[in-house]
Amino acid sequence: MASNAAREKEAATAAQDPSAAAAAATATTVMNGPFKGRCICGALTFTIDPAEGAPLAAYLCHCLDCQRFSGSAFAHNATFRVADLTVEVAAGPEGAAVQQDGDGNDDTGAGSGSEIGGKQKGVPLEDQLSTYGDDVEGRMQFCRTCGTRLLLFCPAGSSSMRDKVVVPVGVLEGGFEDGRLAPAMEGWLKRKACWLRGVDLGLRRMGSE
């Protein structure tokens, strides 16, 4: 959290030179390499290594479900292929690291992992994972220890999403300064917070909302 002095300095800069403040606020860095994420307690970590070097999509969603799941006015999500996902559990049944790749393989051989929806893979062991939802609307996965929301799968949903995983950008390391994760779209604008409706980010609309 920024200190009071830092916030006051930012406010003073914006008041003196609004254009400079706007430029600083929109500056991004396009990073290289795979995306790495984790829960708050560190029991679950994951890596996503897309061939394109970027997510298939990054967007803001204002729907009520995303508001409730995120605990905020909207969610900032990124979509990737499940095949590019590797999830690691810090401690397996024998106290060793347990890792699963996008093919659902348990790299330690210490026991079978959890798979969601048959073809849905890349999911860690059940003893560290909580799941909410269904295969059609989506299965949200959380760390069982700290409750961090990490992954969303829709193995029986629309055909375009069956081999995809949706990740909250906030759980990705350095996501706040990675230009690859900048949203290009936003959806469910009718649920957009009243105090945000005057803010136009110039994003493409998702769907009909």
Residue 6 pLDDT level (bands cut at 50, 70, 90): very low
* pLDDT above 90 for 101: no
Given strand 44-48, what is the order of strands in its sheet? 35-38, 44-48, 85-89, 98-100
pLDDT for res 119: 29
* pLDDT above 80 for 122: no
pLDDT, tens digit, 9 for 90 and up, residues 102-119: 544 444 333 333 443 222
Rounded to whole angstroms, the Cα distance separating 4 from 107 reads: 47
Rounded to whole angstroms, the Cα distance separating 73 from 24 reads: 23
Given strand 164-168, what is the order of strands in its sheet? 129-134, 138-143, 149-153, 164-168, 75-81, 57-61, 185-187, 204-206
pLDDT for res 18: 36
Residue 132 corresponds to which tokens in the numbers above?
């909410």
Assess contact for 121 and 84: CB atoms under 8 A: no
pLDDT for res 134: 87
| pTM metric for this prediction | 0.71
pLDDT, tens digit, 9 for 90 and up, residues 84-93: 999 888 754 4
Residue 32 pLDDT level (bands cut at 50, 70, 90): confident
CA dihedral 25, 27, 33, 34 (to 10 degrees): 20
* pLDDT above 80 for 20: no
Q: Positive or negative, the Cα torsion across 92, 86, 206, 74?
A: positive
Residue 135 pLDDT level (bands cut at 50, 70, 90): confident
The residue-averaged pLDDT of 39-61 equals 94
Rounded to whole angstroms, the Cα distance separating 79 from 16 reads: 39
Burial of 78 from C-beta contacts in 10 A (0-12 / 13-18 / 19+): buried
Q: Is 99 left (phi over 0), alpha (psi -120 to 50) or beta?
A: beta
The residue-averaged pLDDT of 142-171 equals 91
The percentage of residues in the chain with a pLDDT greater than 70, rounded to a whole number, is: 67
Fold of 35-206: 2.170.150
CA dihedral 57, 178, 145, 136 (to 10 degrees): 0
Q: Residue 137 to residues 42, 50, 67, 117, 151: CA-CA distances in angstroms?
A: 28, 24, 16, 12, 13
